Amino acid sequence: MFLVELLVVLSCILIGARIGGIGLGVMGGVGLAILSFGFGMQPTHPPIDVLLMIMAVVAAAATMQAAGGLDFLIKIATNILRKNPRHITFVAPLVTYAFTMMAGTGHVAYSVLPVIAEVSRKSGIRPARPLGMAVIASQFAIVASPIAAAVVACVAFLEPQGITLTDVLSVTIPSTFIGLALACVIVNKLGKELKDDPEYQRRLQDPDFRREMEADLAVEDIDVTPAAKKSVGLFLFGALAVVVMGAFPTLRPAFDGEPMGMAHTIEIVMLSVGALIILTCKPDGNAISQGSVFHAGMRAIVAIFGIAWLGDTLVAGHLDMVKDAVSGLVEVAPWTFAFALFALSVMVNSQGATTAVLVPVAISLGLPTSMIIATFVAVNGYFFVPNYGPIIASIDFDRTGTTRIGKYIFNHSFMLPGLLSMGFSIACGLLITQVL
């Protein structure tokens, strides 16, 4: 019976991922209907704290975007890239990593990708190198961001085990940073130089294409207002406050001798930040709910609501059997949890949903928290299938043709940068958790 129910869950995940948008979440509801009404399984409680924390963070980030804060970050990133053309394979991922980590969203990558493509081409550097690493860095930085949905969810699940936000970030930030840096060294040598690339040379035979390459690409000038700068300052202050209060529980109010939980702390701080941005920066109220950050955040909430609830219900209904089946593997090779994270993230295209489904499973199986944190970066597996938005955008922005999807689909320009970064980051994470 378990295999049939597992097939139902996997089918709902695959269909939901194919639908896109909120499809993953609503298909989770379909799966729950089948398991509860059809198989008589009792649904567990949905991850309410996780959903509310993400909602609060999204509200604050969306108000910052409406106030022009995200545009301000993009302008800073563009200036940094243009000032360091020769080292763009290293600078581009550093920029997308830093801004994704601060904003809690990879949306900043979309706006700097055309700049990366043009700066690298004009510097004679194969654009596939910096574009590939920049996209991967914008993904990996999610697990290093204190306000990203995946990190918020992970901390919520691990807090009862005595793990704080600082404990998670003290591993994910250095491990991903070092892993990406090591990958950059190798990727910087991948492929032929641009002047020797046969596809680029073939395109240059077209006079119209050559004239297009010789012309400067017009990059929209972003008008930054004082309100935009203020919104970024307030948002980063909120993110820093969350990190500090996570590291020092005594800064939180105590009730019955216990400090207020991080779930409530994050919710209160980020909702307050959103309110301060609205009161002091006065963004358009309609723009808040119409921005890309709000839409992406709400999609993540619906996805986590449905699919995490579905996965938790399945595991809870067969917990003893699942424990018996995998306990031996967990004891002998606990690092194999990374493969489970990677595989599910490839299917669902969501770090937050992957975290919400599998981290509770790992905890129930008795997996050491250090191993969960060390392998956490594996939730970034959706470079594997080249259907992720920034991947498609990078291919479109690279007019030289060096960034592409190969004949066999999986031999695309992001596979090696992604696998190298993943391998190095997990190895560094495992090493760091042994030292700390």
Average pLDDT over the chain, rounded to whole? Answer: 86
Q: Indicate the helix (H) or strand (E) that contains 367.
A: none
pLDDT at residue 43 is higher than 90:
yes
Q: Please report the pLDDT score of residue 327 as a whole number.
A: 64
Give the model's pLDDT for residue 330.
67
Structure tokens at 285: 């109220």
pLDDT on residue 322: 67
Q: Which residues pair with 39 in a beta bridge?
A: none
| Residues 109-119: tens digit of each pLDDT | 777 888 888 88
Burial of 264 per CB tally in 10 Å (0-12, 13-18, 19+): middle
Q: pLDDT for 398-415, tens place per residue?
A: 888 888 887 777 888 999
Phi and psi of 258, rounded to 5°? -115, 135
* Largest Cα–Cα separation, the chain: 76
If we measure between CA atoms, which residue out of 433, 431, 428 comes closest to residue 176? 428
Kindly write down the DSSP assignment for every residue of 223-281, as one continuous string.
---HHHHHHHHHHHHHHHHHHHHHH-GGGS-EETTEEPPHHHHHHHHHHHHHHHHHHHH
Sign of the CA dihedral with 108 first, then 109, 110, and 116 last: positive
**pLDDT tens track for 198-226:** 888 888 888 877 777 766 554 456 678 99
Strand partners, 259: 254
Q: Is the pLDDT of residue 169 over 90?
A: yes
**CA distance readout (Å), 10 to 5, 7, 168, 267, 287:** 9, 5, 29, 32, 37
Mean pLDDT of 315-326: 73
State pLDDT tens for residues 325-357: 666 666 778 888 898 899 888 877 778 888 988
374 neighbors 432 (Cβ within 8 angstroms):
yes
**Distance between CA atoms of residues 256 and 262, nearest Å:** 16
Least confident segment among 35-49, 131-145, 327-341, 407-421:
327-341
Residue 30 has pLDDT above 60, yes or no: yes
User: Distance of CA 374 to CAs 90, 112, 175, 402, Å?
Assistant: 24, 30, 8, 34
The torsion of the CA quartet 266, 270, 271, 273, rounded to 10 degrees, works out to 150
Region of poorest pLDDT, from 27-31, 219-223, 257-261, 317-321: 219-223
pLDDT score, position 364: 85
Q: Map tokens 């949903």 to a residue.
A: 353
| Separation between Cα atoms, residue 372 and residue 378, nearest integer Å | 10
pLDDT of residue 215: 62
Task: Report the alpha-carbon distance of residue 305 to residue 182 in Å, rounded.
Answer: 36
Would you call 83 helix, strand, or coil by DSSP? helix
**Res 315 pLDDT > 90:** no
DSSP codes, 107-170: THHHHHHHHHHHHHHHTT--THHHHHHHHHHHHHGGGG-TTSHHHHHHHHHHGGGT--HHHHHH
In the numeric block, the tokens 């980020």 are attached to 270
Contact between 286 and 294 (Cβ < 8 Å): no
Task: Name the E strands within 331-378.
Answer: none
The answer to whether the CB of 246 falls within 8 A of the CB of 32 is no
Q: How confident is the model at residue 108 (pLDDT cuts 50, 70, 90)?
A: low
Residue 118 to residue 7: CA distance in whole angstroms: 46
